[in-house]
Amino acid sequence: MARDERRVAIVGGGLAGCLLATLLGRRGIEVTLYERRPDPRIAGPERGRSINLAVSARGLAALDAVGLRDQALKRALPMHGRMVHPLGAGQNFQPYSADGERAINSISRAELNQALLDAAEATPGVTVRFTQRVTGVDVAAGLLLLEGPEGAVTERADVVLAGDGAYSAVRRSLASGGGLDDRQDFLEHGYKELTIPPRDGDFALDPDALHIWPRGTAMMIALPNLDRSFTCTLFWPKTDFEALGTAAKVRAHFERHYPDAARLMPALADDFAHNPVGSLVTVRCWPWVRYGEGAVAALLGDAAHAIVPFFGQGANCAFEDCVEIDRLLGKTGGDWSRALSLYQERRKPNTDAIAEMALDNFVEMRDRVSSPVYRLTRAAQHA
């Protein structure tokens, strides 16, 4: 296939950026991917930001498009339902499907990102550049503004595809000139990771489930890891984190509200003190595509539509954006303007819908799953 001569820049070497680079490279398009961090395969993950993703059929279909589905599944743990841990009662298992067969997959985000990075780098035509922070885009001049070890520079770009996450610098840059409605809604809740290590060399909880401790306005969840530990994530009002200022207060709080889990967390106070509190944001912006005389720029993944994580669909949605852009490029014979215009029209209603479902599911997970009425209704649905 003849190579496309336009300079295509992908901003962000996260899940979406790496998948899109691979898809475009396979299409014969030369791509440069700019990532602000150093190579994560050398630098290692940040403390308290391990995040394991629940990857569903949508995400797996996208990974299949670059031949990574089986590799991802080999490193995944299937979870066939929720294990709910009510306070003062025994845990109960709620299967995800009536036949008990369907599962979502617990996959390490860092590991998946590295597999996608490997795939991007191995694709002819793809160049990955680390420690390159994009600070803006000038679509009139067709320029990308960057800060790297060599200082501030500009580089030519005819097509800019921004997968630089929820706090996207490209989105900020496009919004600063007007013509882009950029709304970010933060929950009063934040999140913090903790760990349940293996017990006597085995999982301390059932690894076939996504564990939930619903506590009304707050909750904790836990997903299994391949090393037989669990990554727990607290979703609490930010003021609740601040209220627990000493190790003794942390211990006492967990023994009262999460007693079965507290017993399994020897490093609880240390993790709580040192792991950061992350924010939970929904991004609603429009349009996602900006046409200039020199370049066209488009937002994708969390940069276009970050959602709260309670439906486990952010990464799945980001992957679907990439597959859709690639598909539409094929359909339009490589016409970037038409492909990106169709991409935003088709994807926006879907991502708006999932953003609302994700917010609704927070109430379901932290509150409704433990109600006896809810359990009876679900059991009847599955009978």
Indicate which single residue of 108, 231, 233, 275 sits in contact with ligand FAD (rule: CB under 6 A). 233
Residue among 208 and 375 whose Cβ is closer to ligand FAD: 208
Task: Name the residue number minimizing CB distance to ligand FAD.
Answer: 14
Indicate which single residue of 11, 62, 72, 137 sits in contact with ligand FAD (rule: CB under 6 A). 11
Tell me if residue 139 falls in helix, strand or coil: coil
Q: For residues 282 and 185, is the Cβ–Cβ distance under 8 A?
A: yes
Nearest approach, Cβ of 256 to ligand FAD (angstroms)? 24
Q: Is 302 in the site for ligand FAD (CB under 6 A)?
A: yes
Q: Is 36 in the site for ligand FAD (CB under 6 A)?
A: yes
Q: For residues 230 and 196, is the Cβ–Cβ distance under 8 A?
A: yes
Residue among 34 and 241 whose Cβ is closer to ligand FAD: 34
Choices 6-14, 284-292, 339-347, 364-372 (CB under 6 A): range interacting with ligand FAD: 6-14
Q: Is 79 in the site for ligand FAD (CB under 6 A)?
A: no
Q: Which residues pair with 236 in a beta bridge?
A: 190
Residue 369, H or E segment: none
Residue among 166 and 383 whose Cβ is closer to ligand FAD: 166
Q: Is 134 in the site for ligand FAD (CB under 6 A)?
A: yes
Show contacts with ligand FAD in window 172-191 (CB under 6 A): 191
Q: Are strands 29-34 and 4-11 parallel, antiparallel or unpaired?
A: parallel
Q: Is 241 in the site for ligand FAD (CB under 6 A)?
A: no
Nearest to 288 by CA among 180, 185, 183, 184: 180
SS3 content of the chain, % helix, strand, coil (to 5): 40, 30, 30
Choices 15-23, 256-264, 323-331, 338-346 (CB under 6 A): range interacting with ligand FAD: 15-23
Phi and psi, residue 57, nearest 5°? -55, -35
Q: Give the C-alpha separation, 125 to 377, whole Å.
A: 53
Choices 47-55, 197-205, 248-256, 341-349 (CB under 6 A): range interacting with ligand FAD: 47-55
Q: Is 138 in the site for ligand FAD (CB under 6 A)?
A: no
Q: For residues 113 and 44, is the Cβ–Cβ distance under 8 A?
A: no
Residue among 129 and 338 whose Cβ is closer to ligand FAD: 129
Which residues 6+ apart lie within 8 Å of 165 measured at CB?
Answer: 12, 14, 301, 302, 303, 306
Nearest approach, Cβ of 2 to ligand FAD (angstroms)? 29
Choices 79-87, 120-128, 311-319, 366-374 (CB under 6 A): range interacting with ligand FAD: 311-319
Q: Give the C-alpha separation, 305 to 356, whole Å.
A: 11
Q: Is 195 in the site for ligand FAD (CB under 6 A)?
A: no
Q: Is 111 in the site for ligand FAD (CB under 6 A)?
A: no
Q: Is 164 in the site for ligand FAD (CB under 6 A)?
A: yes
Nearest to 166 by CA among 351, 36, 51, 304: 304
Residue among 231 and 341 whose Cβ is closer to ligand FAD: 231
Q: Which residues pair with 361 in a beta bridge?
A: none
Size of the site for ligand FAD (CB under 6 A): 33
Residue among 82 and 200 whose Cβ is closer to ligand FAD: 82
Q: Give the C-alpha separation, 27 to 18, whole Å.
A: 14
Positive/negative CA dihedral, 233, 235, 238, 241: negative
Q: Give the C-alpha separation, 274 to 197, whole Å.
A: 17
Q: For residues 22 and 67, is the Cβ–Cβ distance under 8 A?
A: no
- Applying CB under 6 A, the residues found at the interface with ligand FAD are 11-17, 34-37, 51, 53-54, 109, 133-134, 163-165, 169, 191, 233, 278, 301-302, 309, 312-316, 318
